[in-house]
Structure 1
């Protein structure tokens, strides 16, 4: 199974658990391979180019739906090259701030961002990910200027905290 995000990311952890159960049921090994980069496009491309023999699967996230909207140059056609097999889970998202940001509520965070346009940044799992969209939605809804910091680093992604830029 291809995971188009780094080892240790939430999707990777879930796929590894599912892979273990699949291996038990199939009575054969299930290999999980991380092929990261470009908001999942590298892993998805590898899956799309694999032999259509049922031995290669890819686990996708919201970027699977977002990438065709954000990029017209994809090396695959999401509707033609993939078929859904199973829904394996969903993850909640939490807004947290670095301790150096004195906001205790979203209202206070927005007020601080308004006082310091471009002075706060937020981390995400990469351009086109749900955490990126959530940050952009907050910016738009609140009319504030935040700096997006896309990162493949699993520690930053797992915390996705706002902090002074």
Structure 2
């Protein structure tokens, strides 16, 4: 579409040149008649040059404006995508932390339970082997440890109720 504007200018210059040559008496020996032909053609070419310069500067400005808008839109899209990715990574990291914490607590509870069962088994073995005092001492110590561990677990659960837990962030990202 923009090429048509330049083409129109070129055709206009050619038409004006042809009309001026046709209507002017051309006498190459007379410098005044040659000047009468060249001077209007020169000013017409100068005006068309300014016109083309103006057209090209407006085209350049329009193109720059269009590119700035496209880049701004692309930059905004990249920011939105980065925010979505960041939110997704944070969610996954928090879920992974919660999962790892649960697995770690379960493993620790199993190991502690197995150790207490082993100590109680040793205490029972002492009782059956006629070492009643050593067996009762071992079983009492194991019971005290189990009770302390149970009491500590209850206290931790009570503290969890008072202190806000780490919640998984569930943010809504603005979608286009």
TM-score, normalised by the number of residues in structure 1: 0.22
* Structure that is richer in strand per residue: 1
- Structure exhibiting the larger radius of gyration computed from Cα positions: 2
By relative contact order (CA 8 Å, sep 6+), the higher-ranking structure is 1
* Structure that is richer in helix per residue: 2
